[in-house]
Amino acid sequence: MSTAGTRATNPLTMSGYVWLQLLLLGAIWGGSFFFARIAVQFVPPFTLVLIRVAVAALALQVFLLARGIRFLDYRSHVLGFAGLGILNNAIPFSLLFIGQTALGAGLASIFNATTPIWTVLLATVLTADEKATPRKLTGIGLGIAGIIVMMGPSIGTSFGAPLWAQLAVIGATLSYALASILAKRFKAVPPTVTATGQLTASTLIMIPLVLMNDGVADFSGVSPGVWLAILALGLLSTAFAYILFFSIVRSGGATNASLVTLIVPVSAILLGTIFLGERLALQDFIGMGLIAIGLLVIDGRIEALMRRS
């Protein structure tokens, strides 16, 4: 139900612990681009999405079983889990993989980083406690500007990509925004259960799509290294990552959780520097500085400092 006419009296904020969760999630999802880049060369996009969510769902089902948590006790949320599976996994994962077959990484990162903007706009209409404010929009704008600076000339090479590829990635960001708002309805459900329900649902949804589009894939040429990347994508970048995501939504709200898309490019570049020997340029430091300032603006710390001084 829309609460657009209700005024927020207790807007959600982020504690230091939730900020740490957000930074960790950004680092993990930054690594997911590395794992996906390896795997998608050998596995069709829809099939890779199915394997990713199925591995994560199985791992979380085993985790709940080991903790003595009965997943069936939450069966009343089955329609909500299905909605999350569609909006947070099936649609965006598929659109991102499809779009990136014809779209450069630079422009894809910019489009993906617009997720907080869509979340703010949709949350303003659909929620009572997450209205758009000048502070939020300013911080998001600084963050996107930082990503544009970091990507530099590589962005220009992507603008010749087909319109359908660009629209696919934008569609993924809209789907993520709607999923973040829907996830607010699961505050009474433990994050591990919500993640398990979402990923179990998206697995069931993807099976017929894969059979119709990809058929049964041939994995005979997939090396152990590629399988390790796929497992990392499923276990770390999906199962564990979504536990963090739903924990952040539960404590900080949909808009704050969507800020992770501003951190992901920083994480991806730093991981490339650490593990692939890539070098940081001046534009990287400037861009990361702008993103950091943007996050501090959203957090309210800069505004509070200015008031004190």
According to the model, what pLDDT value does residue 124 have? 85
**Torsion region of 215: left, alpha or beta (phi above 0 gives left; psi -120 to 50 gives alpha):** left
According to the model, what pLDDT value does residue 149 have? 83
Q: In three state form, how does the secondary structure of 160-203 look? A: CCCHHHHHHHHHHHHHHHHHHHHHHHHCCCCHHHHHHHHHHHHH
According to the model, what pLDDT value does residue 101 have? 73
The residues near 223 (Cβ < 8 Å, ≥ 6 apart) are 42
Q: How far apart are CA 103 and CA 34, in angstroms?
A: 16
Q: How far apart are CA 247 and CA 191, in angstroms?
A: 5
Predicted confidence pLDDT, tens digits, the chain (309 residues):
333 443 433 445 677 888 899 999 988 988 887 787 788 788 888 899 999 999 999 999 999 999 999 999 999 999 999 999 999 988 998 888 788 777 665 566 667 778 888 888 888 888 877 777 888 888 888 888 887 887 676 665 555 668 788 788 889 999 999 999 999 889 889 999 999 999 999 999 999 999 998 888 788 888 999 999 999 999 999 999 999 999 998 888 888 888 888 888 788 777 767 776 667 778 878 888 888 888 878 777 677 777 776
According to the model, what pLDDT value does residue 271 have? 73
10 Å Cβ neighbour count for 121?
Answer: 14
- Per domain, the residue ranges of the chain are 28-308
According to the model, what pLDDT value does residue 203 have? 96
According to the model, what pLDDT value does residue 80 have? 94
According to the model, what pLDDT value does residue 59 have? 96
Contact between 74 and 198 (Cβ < 8 Å): no
According to the model, what pLDDT value does residue 142 have? 87
> What is the amino acid identity at position 270?
L
Contact between 64 and 71 (Cβ < 8 Å): yes
